Amino acid sequence: MAMVYGTTTTSYSAIILSSPATIQSSPTAAAAAASARARVRVRVPVGLLPGRRAKPLPLRCASSGMEPNARTALYPLHRCKTIYLVRHAQGIHNVAGEKDFKAYMSQDLFDAQLTPLGWSQVDGLREHVKKSGLAKKIELVITSPLLRTMQTAVGVFGGENYTDGVSAPPLMVENAGHSGRPAVSSLNCPPFLAVETCREHLGVHPCDKRRSITEYRPLFPAIDFSLIENDEDVLWEPDVREANESVTLRGMKFIDWLWTREEKEIAIVSHSGFLYHTLGMYSKECHPTIRDEVGKHFANCELRSMVLVDRSMLGSDSPSFNYPGKIPAGLDLPSDVADKKLVEEAQKN
C-alpha cells in the first residue's frame, strides 16, 4: 500500500517503516523498547584470555542529544515520489453554493468555470511556483478533466502567453471557458495529462459533470486526453451522488496508479472532496497532529507538498544513485558481525 505524507514535517515518519502491529505502539513505548534492546547488547573486551567468558556490558553512548527515538525513519529514495496536490481555484459554483447550497443543483453551473477572483488566485499560485523553484522540478502535471481544474492547471504550471507561429500547440486557447484570458503556451513546461480518476464526487451536481472530450480538445490542444476512454461523460449520473466511500477507494486507486508513472515529481490538480476523502484515508496511521495537517479541507488554489511512499513494492523503479561497493571479491566482514562471532567463540570456551 502506498502512503502519503506531508513534506514539511518529519515527526510522523516512523510510521512509514512500521508494520500494522507496531503502528499501534506509542512513540514512548517504542523508545523504551529501543532502550531495552540497547541494554542487552554485549561487547568483548580487547585481550580476552582463552577460557574466560565475556561479561555482558551495557552499551554506553555519550550524552550528545542523539539518543534514539521513534519519531524518525529511513526509506529508500527510489521508492518515494513527491506529489504537489492542488485544489482548483474559485469557480462560479463555489460562489453560488456558499450563498445557497441548493444552487449546486442548477444547470447553469454545468462544468463550472473559474471566477475572476479564481484567476487572480491562479496568478498568485503561479508566481509562488516560479519564485520557489517548483516550476523547474515538476516533471508531469495531472489534471481532472473538468473546465475549472484544467484552467487552474494550465494557468499555474503552463508556459508563458502563447505566440502564433510557434511549432508547439497552446495548452489553452484564448478565452477558453469565457475566461477572457490570453492563450497559454505549452513551451518550457511539463506535459499535461487528464485523468478521470481524480475527479470530484460524481453525480447529481451539474457543476461536477464534464463536457465531451471532443469539446475540450480545441480549448486545451496540448493536454493529453488519451487515458479517457469515453468521449461523453458516462460516469456522472443525474440521480445518484457518489458515496464518500467510493471516492476514497477511487482516490486510493489513483495513488497506486501513480506508481506506474516514471516521473518522481508530479503536480495533481483536483477537487476538494476528492482530496479530502483520499488524504483522510492515508492519514489515519499518522500522529494526530499530522493527521489534522494532511486531512483538512483544501482552500481554493491551495498547494500542498506530499511524499508518496511505496510500502508494498508497487513501484518497479530501480535505485538510480545506489552503488554496490567493493565490487572485487574479498573478505568484508562488518564489525558488528565480527563482534558477534567473537562473543560466540568466547562463550564456547
Is there a domain that residue 27 lies in? no
Is there a domain that residue 202 lies in? yes
**Is the alpha carbon torsion for 293, 297, 299, 303 positive or negative?**
positive
Residue pLDDT, tens place only, 95-143: 999 999 999 999 999 999 999 999 999 999 999 999 999 999 999 999 9
Is there a domain that residue 54 lies in? no
Residue pLDDT, tens place only, 305-339: 999 888 766 665 666 777 777 666 666 667 776 67
46-55, 215-224, 303-312, 337-346 — which is least confidently predicted?
A: 46-55
Sheet holding 303-310, edge to edge: 2-6, 303-310, 80-87, 265-270, 140-143, 192-194, 223-224
Would you say 155 and 282 are in contact if contact means Cβ atoms under 8 Å apart?
A: no
Question: All 3 cell numbers of residue 302?
Answer: 491551495
Is there a domain that residue 292 lies in? yes
- Phi and psi torsions of 343, nearest 5°: -65, -45
Is there a domain that residue 24 lies in? no
Residue 277: active-site member = no
- What is the band of 32 on the pLDDT scale with cuts at 50, 70, 90? very low
What CA–CA distance (Å, rounded) separates 143 from 119?
A: 17
pTM, two decimal places: 0.76
Q: Residue 167 forms beta bridges with which residues?
A: none
Burial track 235-262 (b if 16+ CB lie within 10 A, e otherwise): bbeeeeebeeeebbebbbebbebbbeee
Structural domain total, the chain: 1
What's the CATH number where 130 sits? 3.40.50.1240
Would you say 54 and 343 are in contact if contact means Cβ atoms under 8 Å apart?
A: yes
| pLDDT for res 168 | 85
**Of 88, 93, 205, 271, which one is the catalytic site residue?**
88
| pLDDT for res 292 | 86
Residue with cell 542523539: 66
Name the 3-class secondary structure at 153.
helix
Instruction: Indicate the residue type of 83.
Output: I
Is there a domain that residue 176 lies in? yes
Share of the chain above pLDDT 90, in %: 56
**Of 93, 196, 200, 285, which one is the catalytic site residue?**
200
Is there a domain that residue 337 lies in? no
Would you say 97 and 104 are in contact if contact means Cβ atoms under 8 Å apart?
A: yes
Residue pLDDT, tens place only, 193-220: 999 999 999 999 999 999 999 999 999 9
- What is the band of 63 on the pLDDT scale with cuts at 50, 70, 90? low
What CA–CA distance (Å, rounded) separates 291 from 306?
A: 13
Residue 93: active-site member = no
Question: All 3 cell numbers of residue 206?
Answer: 451539474
- Pick 38 or 328 by higher pLDDT: 328
| pLDDT for res 88 | 98
Would you say 178 and 234 are in contact if contact means Cβ atoms under 8 Å apart?
A: no
Write the CB contacts of 15 (distance below 8 Å, at least 6 apart in sequence).
Answer: 3, 23, 73, 285, 286, 287
Please give the DSSP secondary-structure letter assigned to residue 69: -
Is there a domain that residue 45 lies in? no
What CA–CA distance (Å, rounded) separates 290 from 300?
A: 21
| pLDDT for res 91 | 97
Burial class (CB in 10 A: 0-12, 13-18, 19+), 169: middle
Residue pLDDT, tens place only, 244-256: 999 999 999 999 9
Domain that holds residue 169: 82-309
